[in-house]
Amino acid sequence: MEEVKKKRMLSGIQPSGDLHLGNYLGAIKNWADRVDEYECFYFMADLHTITVRQDPAELRRRSINQLAQYIACGLDPEKNVLFLQSHVPAHSQLAWVLSCYTMFGELSRMTQFKDKSAKYSDNINSGLFTYPVLMAADILLYQADYVPVGEDQKQHVELCRDIAQRFNSVYGDVFKVPEPLINKVGARIYGLTTPGAKMSKSVPDGCVFLMDSPDDIRRKFKRAVTDSDRENCVRFDKENKPGVANLMNIYSTLTGKTMEQIEAEFAGQGYGSFKPAVGEAVIEAMRPIREEAERLIKDKAYLDDVYRKGAEAASYVAGKTLRKVYKKVGFYQL
């Protein structure tokens, strides 16, 4: 009986800061759960990070540490292809070709470019503008079927689909047109102090990092925003009680309990009991990840070996796509 070929999945996170709870619950935890269902490629998106100025030594440190955290979160390098984006030159090479098939108007409509331009007004570089083209190259190189992304990246995947379809309409069936995959539970974790905005390293007091100590986690949840009314009731109401809803979402994703079960568990107890309970659930979930990551970070030779093997595996797949693209557009082949 012929073996059914697995669908391919690809995603990446920038090593622009330490990984946090939002990265884990919104992305990495789900990646690890899909290893038997999909052929998985996950990378450290270091090329994307330099649209914002980085400290070189810090970027190198975060890149190797992020790999350790990926593995500690359950991404087995024997079952997943884990690699650093800059180790596979085909990403940059395909990005240039695709930029010639991407319209200026399409890029100018990207909301993330507008947001980042406002945030980094002293450094509005062309990389910020063409970021979605590089992201399209990341995806299309590997002929990915699915791209797990947050809601804020869905627009970029839609542009990627448009670019792939445009290229295919000219040159035939070159790229697989990917589908975005967005999780319904845990897909977007908001900041503990800013429940109207997703959890971000730029607001450290409201951001729980994977390497935070238990005491730091308890402190952050103790200060977590709930709501401004006097109800003091654990009830899921995303519109009127976004802080409580965010905490319930975190607790639900970690424990598997429904919102109704959480409401029943904390009925009559108020936020004074609920917030520490969520904090303890996070501490217990993060403890084995932090301890394993700390162990792996000390073994640089092992991590370098994982990076090397990952780059080789990724380059093999990416190279096949790039050669096909180069031939289609008319580049002379050696």
Q: CB–CB of 223/193 below 8 Å?
A: yes
For the question of residue 154 being annotated catalytic, the response is no
Separation between Cα atoms, residue 10 and residue 147, nearest integer Å: 5
Separation between Cα atoms, residue 157 and residue 179, nearest integer Å: 8
How far CA 280 is from CA of 19, 25, 48, 222, 277, in Å, comes to: 19, 16, 34, 11, 5
Closest CA to 157 of 97, 94, 112: 112
Which DSSP state fits 85?
Answer: G
Give the 3-state secondary structure of residue 332.
coil
Closest CA to 23 of 289, 292, 240, 271: 289
Q: Which amino acid is at 160?
A: C
Which DSSP state fits 6?
Answer: P
Give the 3-state secondary structure of residue 206.
helix
For the question of residue 198 being annotated catalytic, the response is yes
For the question of residue 201 being annotated catalytic, the response is yes
Separation between Cα atoms, residue 25 and residue 266, nearest integer Å: 22
What DSSP element (H or E) covers 264? Answer: helix 259-265
Rg of the Cα trace of the chain? 21
Give the 3-state secondary structure of residue 185.
coil
Give the 3-state secondary structure of residue 295.
helix
What residues does 81 pair with on adjacent strands? 41
Pick the catalytic residue: 29, 198, 220, 241? 198
Pick the catalytic residue: 79, 114, 119, 201? 201
Give the rounded distance of the alpha carbon of 156 from its chain centre.
13
Closest CA to 131 of 17, 14, 41, 27: 14
Structure tokens at 225: 């925003």
Enzyme catalytic residues: 116, 198, 201
